[in-house]
Amino acid sequence: MNANATILSTRKLSSSQKELLLNSGIGFVEYNAIEIELLELEFNRDIKNAIFTSKNAVKAIQNSEFIIENCFCVGENTKKLLEENGQKVVEIAQNASNLAKIIVKSYKKEQFYFFCGNMRRAELPLTLKENTIQLEQIVVYKTHMKSKKFDRTFEGILFFSPSGVQSYTMTNTVDESMAFCIGNTTASEAKKHTKNCIVANKPTVENVLVQTVKYFYKRI
């Protein structure tokens, strides 16, 4: 174990998540690279098929009057939050590109509403458009960059979204740090700045931390 390893998390961790690092002897610094602003929704409607690619979108409609029949989502945590709010999840994928493929294959004649942020990725809307699937995008939250300059080098940097990578690299470089990414979409953004990249097996914060611990233990 590299006892001197210190990593940077680009989002603040929960107490249980911090324990995973502290128990491994890895030092860490944490900050929120982005800030999420949930928008007030001034309308409501009945929706047959809704797409959610993040928990933030689910949180944004929690207190709305949308009546949704079927939910299509990315990630187990998004699915869990939807179900906790009484929603029925009919399809789940690990990333937006895979979810788009599922929709194209099995739901081509359906119409969809995509609850998303102002910085949402283009893959899913483009794929559906290319396959003439009706899609209306509803922006329900905004992502704000919170850049912070670090005058030091970290052995590892934890990234949890493409916008988190963008925010960090506004005022910092990745250099020789290992980038630990929550998914392939985030990794694609990180690879613009480094070749040193490890992607979590599952798109969860906990799995990013597990991959981090495994990596530094291998360097004994």
pLDDT digits (tens, 9 = 90+) for 154-176: 999 999 999 999 999 999 999 89
pLDDT at 50 over 90: yes
* In contact, 28 and 9? CB cutoff 8 Å: yes
Give CA–CA dist 99/105, Å, rounded.
Answer: 10
Between 90 and 219, the more confident residue is 90
Collect all residues with Cβ–Cβ distance below 8 Å to 204 and sequence separation of at least 6. 75, 76, 77, 182
In the DSSP assignment, the letter for residue 173 is -
Give CA–CA dist 113/70, Å, rounded.
Answer: 11
**Residue in the structure block whose two tokens are 């530094």:** 216
Collect all residues with Cβ–Cβ distance below 8 Å to 47 and sequence separation of at least 6. 66, 67, 68, 69, 113
Nearest partner of 188 among 172, 201, 199, judged by Cα: 199
Nearest partner of 17 among 218, 214, 207, judged by Cα: 207
Task: Report residue 219's pLDDT band, with 50, 70 and 90 as the boundaries.
Answer: low
The per-residue pLDDT for range 94-129, each reduced to its tens digit, is 889 999 999 999 999 999 999 999 998 899 999 999
Q: Is 9 exposed, middle or buried (0-12, 13-18, 19+ CB in 10 A)?
A: buried
Query: Which structure tokens are listed for 41?
Result: 């929704």
The per-residue pLDDT for range 123-135, each reduced to its tens digit, is 999 999 999 999 9
* In contact, 190 and 179? CB cutoff 8 Å: yes
Give CA–CA dist 185/83, Å, rounded.
Answer: 24
Element (H, E) at 137: strand 134-145
Sign of CA dihedral 84, 207, 127, 131: negative
What percentage of residues in the chain have a pLDDT greater than 70? 98
pLDDT at 191 over 50: yes
Q: How far apart are the first and last CA of the chain?
A: 4
Average pLDDT across the chain, whole number: 93
pLDDT at 197 over 90: yes
Cα-based torsion angle of the residue sequence 145, 211, 154, 159 in order, rounded to the nearest 10 degrees = -10
**Residue in the structure block whose two tokens are 């910085």:** 119
Give CA–CA dist 167/185, Å, rounded.
Answer: 15
In the DSSP assignment, the letter for residue 204 is S
Q: Average pLDDT of 80-92? A: 96
Does the 45-143 domain belong in CATH 3.90.1150.10? Answer: no
pLDDT at 220 over 50: no
